[in-house]
Structure formats: structure tokens, C-alpha cells
């Protein structure tokens, strides 16, 4: 039966490849569809976009890990559109892949397509971000970061940094609305600051995890508020944009405004060393090997843990080992 399903799938993959060749309309991010060793696991992966260095590092990690693990990867990039992710998942179901993994751009709106995957008997793993659903059985597991913990770590740094300040005015540039990192980084940060009345969040705006929007957001925030002490930004890309805006009005980032950012890409670590950023909360995109290990297990019918979190740290101006940090891979 399993053998039969595999043959059908091979046929579907080969037919799809022929059709693409005949019509000459293969999409740019065409899923790899060569006939391979019958035992090779096929993983359909829907990436949400390429909005940041984090995301590009994440894609690279997944593609390289697939090669190392001998997993046949059908990769699709949804360019920031949920409809495109849904379409990609439907195409993976049509190809009868062994396992589907995806990084959901937002949390809501996945029940129908995941119900179809379940119906087809294909296990689905969410990576990096989570979904919101009443039916937990639609997903077999999650691998990625604990964003709530990241928010708390950002808050913890601020508590230490601003210990002597009488009043602390914060602006927040958050990530994509309704995405898991946006929700949880905001919540963890607020919970860590607790009921301390010295801390005020003057305004929170969404910069969609994009550098250009981070700059625009900061320009607006600087116009509307003359008393900003702290910028808490949900990713390095937006922080880099915001720093340009801060410098453009003659202020010194890291001194006039305390800068706290999340991700830990090389450019942010460099600015931390240069004193323009005060704290970088690490969020690693390097989860490719883990995803392949889980895909192989799922394809073999084994069970996997419900949640797997990456080990992460904080880099800040309080650290003495910054000079010795190895180069970042993203």
C-alpha cells in the first residue's frame, strides 16, 4: 500500500515535471522534481518570504541541511502572502510528499488546508512560527524559538540598564501583526517589566520585520515624541533602519536612545560592538538540521516531541566576550 502510494507520488511528481517542461511555465522557485531513489524522503517546505537576513539565513540552513540529510526538498517561497503559502501546501498534498513543514506568516486561517493534509495522511510540522487552531491534531509538532522568553530577556536587560533611571520612556517597533514573534516578544517584554510604574510604553507600531519600514516607523516616532529613552525593536532589520532615522536627526543611538533588538545577525552584533546597539537578544534561524531529523522520523512513522526550542542567549554591552564571538552565519 505504502509502496503503491510512493509509486503514485513518483508518477505525480514526474507528470508535473513534464507538464512544466511542455508548457514552459515552471515557477521561479520550482519544486525539485527529479526521479530519485525510491527510499528518499520528500519534504515539502513553504517558506513565508525573504523579508530579513534572518529569513535568508533560515532558508539557507534548510536547503543545506536537506542536501546533507539526503532529503528531497520541495521548496516554495510565499513572498509574504498567506494565500501563496496555502497554495504551496495544496501542491505538496497533490504531490503526495512524505512530510510538510511550513513557517506560517500569521497565526490564523490554516484549518482548512491543514485539514486537507490530515485527510491525505501527511504529517505537518510548523517551523519558526506557530498557528492558532482549535484542532491541535492538525500539526504534529513545532521547532523554533521561544519568542516569549526572548521578550522577557529583552525586558531583563532593560531592568538592569535602567536601574538608576527615575522614568523610562519606551517606543516599540513590532513585527508582522498577528505573527507569533510579534505577539510573544511584545508580551514577554511587558511581563518582565511587570507593574514597575517607571516604565512607560509611549507607542508601539508595526514595522512588518522590514528594514525600510523600521526606518519609516522611527521617523514618525521621533516626530511624535521628544522624550524617547528606549527603542525596543522586534528584529535587527527594523533596528538598522531605525538607527538611520535616529542618526539623521542628530541623536546618537546607544547613548541618547537605548537600543534593544532581536535576532543577532552579523550587522547587529557589529553595531553592538560599535556601541550603537545596547542589547541583542539572540533568535537563531539555523534550524535546518533539526527539521530534517524530524522529517526523517515522521516519514518513518515515528513520533516526535510536540515542541522543540533552540538554545539561545543574549549579547549586550555588559558582556566581556564580544570580541571573541565567532562570525554569525546570518
Q: Which stretches of the chain bind ligand GYE, using CB under 6 A? A: 51-52, 54-55, 128-129, 145, 181, 209, 235, 237, 262-263, 283
Compute the distance between CA of residue 330 and CA of residue 328 in angstroms, rounded to an integer. Answer: 6
In angstroms, what is the minimal distance from the CB of 263 to ligand GYE?
A: 5
In angstroms, what is the minimal distance from the CB of 104 to ligand GYE?
A: 9
- For ligand GYE, give the closer residue by CB, 239 or 316: 239
C-alpha cell at 232: 525596543
In angstroms, what is the minimal distance from the CB of 1 to ligand GYE?
A: 38
CA separation, residue 62 to residues 75, 97, 198, 262 (Å): 9, 17, 43, 21
Could you tell me how far CA 18 lies from the centroid of its own chain?
Answer: 34
In angstroms, what is the minimal distance from the CB of 316 to ligand GYE?
A: 18
Compute the distance between CA of residue 232 and CA of residue 121 in angstroms, rounded to an integer. Answer: 43
Contact 142, 308 (CB under 8 A): yes
CB-CB neighbours of 218 under 10 Å: 29
In angstroms, what is the minimal distance from the CB of 237 to ligand GYE?
A: 6
- For ligand GYE, give the closer residue by CB, 52 or 72: 52
Beta bridge partners of 72: 42
- For ligand GYE, give the closer residue by CB, 72 or 180: 180
Compute the distance between CA of residue 201 and CA of residue 221 in angstroms, rounded to an integer. Answer: 12
Q: What angle do CA 226, 230, 236 make, to 5 degrees?
A: 120
In angstroms, what is the minimal distance from the CB of 260 to ligand GYE?
A: 13
- For ligand GYE, give the closer residue by CB, 148 or 209: 209
Picking from 72, 60, 69, 47, the residue whose alpha carbon sits closest to that of residue 128 is 47
In angstroms, what is the minimal distance from the CB of 283 to ligand GYE?
A: 5
Cα-based torsion angle of the residue sequence 91, 96, 102, 107 in order, rounded to the nearest 10 degrees: 70
Per DSSP, the chain holds a count of helices (H) and strands (E) of 10, 12
In angstroms, what is the minimal distance from the CB of 85 to ligand GYE?
A: 14
- For ligand GYE, give the closer residue by CB, 33 or 217: 217
Picking from 242, 190, 200, the residue whose alpha carbon sits closest to that of residue 220 is 242
- For ligand GYE, give the closer residue by CB, 98 or 150: 150
- For ligand GYE, give the closer residue by CB, 13 or 129: 129
By residue count, the chain amounts to 330
- For ligand GYE, give the closer residue by CB, 100 or 105: 105
Amino acid at each position: 500500500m505504502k509502496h503503491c502510494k510512493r509509486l503514485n507520488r513518483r508518477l505525480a511528481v514526474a507528470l508535473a515535471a513534464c507538464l512544466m517542461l511542455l508548457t514552459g511555465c515552471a515557477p521561479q522557485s520550482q519544486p525539485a522534481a527529479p526521479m530519485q531513489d525510491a527510499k528518499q524522503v520528500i519534504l515539502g517546505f513553504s517558506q513565508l518570504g525573504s523579508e530579513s537576513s534572518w529569513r535568508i539565513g533560515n532558508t539557507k540552513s534548510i536547503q543545506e541541511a536537506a542536501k546533507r540529510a539526503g532529503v528531497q526538498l520541495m521548496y516554495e517561497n510565499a513572498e509574504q502572502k498567506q494565500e501563496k503559502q496555502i497554495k504551496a501546501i495544496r501542491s505538496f498534498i497533490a504531490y503526495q510528499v512524505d512530510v510538510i513543514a511550513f513557517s506560517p506568516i500569521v497565526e490564523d486561517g490554516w484549518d482548512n488546508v491543514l485539514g486537507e493534509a490530515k485527510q491525505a495522511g501527511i504529517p505537518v510540522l510548523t517551523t519558526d512560527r506557530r498557528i492558532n487552531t482549535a484542532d491541535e491534531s492538525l500539526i504534529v509538532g513545532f521547532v523554533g524559538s521561544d519568542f516569549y522568553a526572548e521578550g522577557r530577556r529583552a525586558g531583563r536587560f532593560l531592568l538592569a540598564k535602567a536601574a538608576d533611571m527615575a522614568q523610562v520612556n519606551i517606543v516599540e517597533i513590532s513585527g508582522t501583526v498577528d505573527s507569533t514573534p510579534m505577539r510573544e516578544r511584545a508580551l514577554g517584554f511587558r511581563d518582565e517589566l511587570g507593574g514597575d510604574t517607571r516604565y512607560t510604553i509611549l507607542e508601539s507600531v508595526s514595522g512588518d520585520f522590514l528594514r525600510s519600514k523600521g526606518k519609516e516607523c522611527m521617523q514618525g516616532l521621533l516626530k511624535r515624541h521628544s522624550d524617547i529613552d528606549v527603542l525596543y525593536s522586534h528584529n535587527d532589520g527594523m533596528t538598522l533602519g531605525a538607527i538611520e532615522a535616529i542618526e539623521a536627526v542628530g541623536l546618537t543611538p546607544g547613548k541618547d536612545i537605548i537600543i534593544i533588538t532581536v535576532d543577532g545577525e552579523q550587522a547587529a552584533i557589529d553595531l553592538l560592538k560599535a556601541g550603537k546597539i545596547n542589547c541583542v537578544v539572540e533568535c537563531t534561524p539555523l534550524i535546518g538540521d533539526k527539521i530534517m531529523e524530524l522529517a526523517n522520523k515522521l516519514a518513518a512513522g515515528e513520533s516526535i516531541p510536540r515542541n522543540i526550542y533552540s538554545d539561545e542567549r543574549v549579547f549586550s554591552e555588559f558582556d566581556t566576550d564580544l570580541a571573541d564571538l565567532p562570525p554569525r552565519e546570518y
